[in-house]
Chains A and B, each alone.
Chain A
């Protein structure tokens, strides 16, 4: 077992780190304060290939792997959780399902511009009555001639108003499983600007405040039937598969936030003096930092392991990375929350002010325990695999 990163991953990390420090960090506080989507940063990331990292070159991507993508989200999130999730939602939740389930025509039409960064992607599964319970879906798609007619709404959609291409889930009928009648869910690719597709309210959030989180509304929205992603009724499978990958992205975001908070806390405790010496000289500080660093390292191992399993899937579709992804997200998100909370505590009163990054990081960390499957859902996935 080799725990060292390969040369290409080390180089990629140095690239993402340099980019994050130069292009993202200077804007992070402003993005949080103003809640403005960092469009300029997204354009720079597009130009440098950050929006198609694990997508094969033939589809406009970089032809790198899942671990490289994770390193990107991690390094971006060390300085700005908002920027991390923009890349994660675009790559894991929109590019990935089209790459995995799309037809060649769909890949050429949608994946190529997405992977090149000419277009931004989003994913719409959650509804007011359907979060963890995907069966609660109310959005319907009815075939009418050569078009599906979409009616319903999606909420909490990351990259909501800024995206161009959306992977949307809707009920297309019912299926019988034993004695139960279940909703048949299918996936569709929907373009911004399609008549009947509008935006509702923008969410005012605790953290990741620069990410564009919107409600999507479909009112008699007609989309060509060739825009169905995968087969009819495959929607639940596509959603679950997509979220398995998405969880690795969010785990990387959580890891990055935790690392960013730890780095700042190490620096701060060396500078901050109380009782005539740096607070890093106190054993309480040292023990807290030791615990934080150990948990961050453990989270990193889980996240990288899940990424490597996902990379294996790229060449062998029989490989499952569902449990690894759930473990990585569960642990990294909880570590992010714990480490950022301790970081604020070790910063004392200053840590509670917006002058210091750790306050923002603590707010950003919380969402990683909730979106793309709550920590409770991750525990269900993990225990479900143990007990099957």
Chain B
């Protein structure tokens, strides 16, 4: 079985978020991590590899430093890493990103593609399903459990209060939830191998069946009007009153603000 896992290097939001003047994220100025949903997707692929045997290829689109996330994936047990990087791909929204990744994946043999549900820097949940559309294969999103049976995958698709069990013939695409599993750690030996591994680097010229008009900032229908960090809430107002007075105080405040 050949599995392709799409991963994204995202800002580690624990380290604070920084913006460029045009409202896009200043990725160069932030610490980065492998997107948590993608990491769960990678773990799912590695578990299938452990159970059935598989070749796991990890692919990412990003700046040259996104190579780090591929080496992390290899240190966890992935077999190959492909970095898609080119100036003309910069500023891509979900549409242009999915076009790029689909164009890259067309070079590969695959039975299964796994992506994370969504990235913590955009939270759109669009790239995975869009890739499946471009490649004309089925998609099962929000996977909370994945298994393989013959030439099909059996997936539990999560809803708020239930899950569906879906079966799809491979090749297909699955989007993974962070809750899917507890990703394994890298191993020290895996790290040494990953640092020696050759990472395949592809640019625009390597993308198959993709129009220039669908790539990069120019190929992105999404226009960011404004982006900002969360506004910190004030400390609020603290009062110390007995219970009866407290209720009266709160009720008056709510009336004052026309809540009631």
Q: Which residues of A contact B (CB under 8 A)?
A: 6-8, 11-12, 15, 18-19, 48-50, 53, 57, 61-64, 68, 72
A12–B191 touching, CB < 8 Å:
yes
Enumerate chain A residues within 8 angstroms of B75, measured Cβ to Cβ. Answer: 11, 15
Task: Judge if B19 is at the interface, Cβ distance under 8 Å.
Answer: no
- CB-nearest residue of chain A to B186: A15
Q: A12-B188, A15-B75 are in contact. List 9 more A-B contacts (CB 8 A).
A: A6-B195, A11-B71, A11-B72, A12-B191, A49-B187, A49-B188, A63-B192, A64-B191, A72-B188
B185–A68 touching, CB < 8 Å:
no
8 Å CB contact of B185 from A7, A8, A15, A53: A15
A64–B189 touching, CB < 8 Å:
yes
A8–B189 touching, CB < 8 Å:
no
A188 to B128, CA, bound (A): 59
Enumerate chain A residues within 8 angstroms of B194, measured Cβ to Cβ. Answer: 8, 11
B56 to nearest A CB, angstroms?
19
Q: Mark B156-188, 1 if CB is under 8 A from A, else 0.
A: 000000000000000000000000000011111
A87 to nearest B CB, angstroms?
12
A64–B185 touching, CB < 8 Å:
no
Task: For the complex of A and B, list the 10 residue pairs with the smallest distance between their C-beta atoms, beginning with the closest.
Answer: A62-B189, A49-B187, A8-B195, A62-B188, A64-B188, A11-B191, A15-B186, A53-B188, A48-B185, A63-B189
B72 to nearest A CB, angstroms?
7
A-B contact pairs, 19 of them (CB 8 A): A6-B195, A8-B195, A11-B71, A11-B75, A11-B186, A11-B194, A12-B188, A12-B191, A15-B188, A18-B185, A48-B184, A48-B187, A50-B188, A61-B189, A63-B192, A64-B189, A68-B188, A68-B191, A68-B192
A19 to B194, CA, bound (A): 19
Enumerate chain B residues within 8 angstroms of A18, measured Cβ to Cβ. Answer: 185
- CB-nearest residue of chain B to A57: B189
A53 to B186, CA, bound (A): 13
Enumerate chain A residues within 8 angstroms of B189, measured Cβ to Cβ. Answer: 49, 57, 61-64
A15–B192 touching, CB < 8 Å:
no
B192–A64 touching, CB < 8 Å:
yes
Known: A15-B185, A19-B185, A48-B185. A7 touches B195 (CB 8 A): yes
A15 to B184, CA, bound (A): 11
Q: Mark B56-93, 1 if CB is under 8 A from A, else 0.
A: 00000000000000011001000000000000000000
Enumerate chain B residues within 8 angstroms of A50, measured Cβ to Cβ. Answer: 188
B159 to nearest A CB, angstroms?
30
- CB-nearest residue of chain A to B75: A11
A130 to B185, CA, bound (A): 42
Residues 200-229 of B at the A interface (beta carbon under 8 Å): none
A64 to nearest B CB, angstroms?
4
- CB-nearest residue of chain A to B191: A11
Enumerate chain B residues within 8 angstroms of A61, measured Cβ to Cβ. Answer: 189
A61 to B189, CA, bound (A): 8
B141 to nearest A CB, angstroms?
29
Enumerate chain B residues within 8 angstroms of A62, measured Cβ to Cβ. Answer: 187-189, 192
Counting chain A CB atoms within 10 Å of each CB, the highest count among B184, B187, B194 belongs to B187
Counting chain B CB atoms within 10 Å of each CB, the highest count among A11, A12, A18, A62 belongs to A11
Enumerate chain A residues within 8 angstroms of B187, measured Cβ to Cβ. Answer: 48-49, 62
- CB-nearest residue of chain A to B193: A63
Counting chain B CB atoms within 10 Å of each CB, the highest count among A18, A53, A62, A63 belongs to A62
A49 to B185, CA, bound (A): 10
Enumerate chain B residues within 8 angstroms of A19, measured Cβ to Cβ. Answer: 185
Residues 133-158 of B at the A interface (beta carbon under 8 Å): none
A7 to B193, CA, bound (A): 12
Enumerate chain A residues within 8 angstroms of B195, measured Cβ to Cβ. Answer: 6-8, 11
B178 to nearest A CB, angstroms?
15
- CB-nearest residue of chain A to B76: A15
A11 to B195, CA, bound (A): 9
A61 to nearest B CB, angstroms?
7
- CB-nearest residue of chain B to A8: B195
A84 to nearest B CB, angstroms?
16
Enumerate chain A residues within 8 angstroms of B186, measured Cβ to Cβ. Answer: 11, 15
A379 to nearest B CB, angstroms?
33
B131 to nearest A CB, angstroms?
28
A174 to nearest B CB, angstroms?
44
B147 to nearest A CB, angstroms?
23
Enumerate chain B residues within 8 angstroms of A64, measured Cβ to Cβ. Answer: 188-189, 191-192
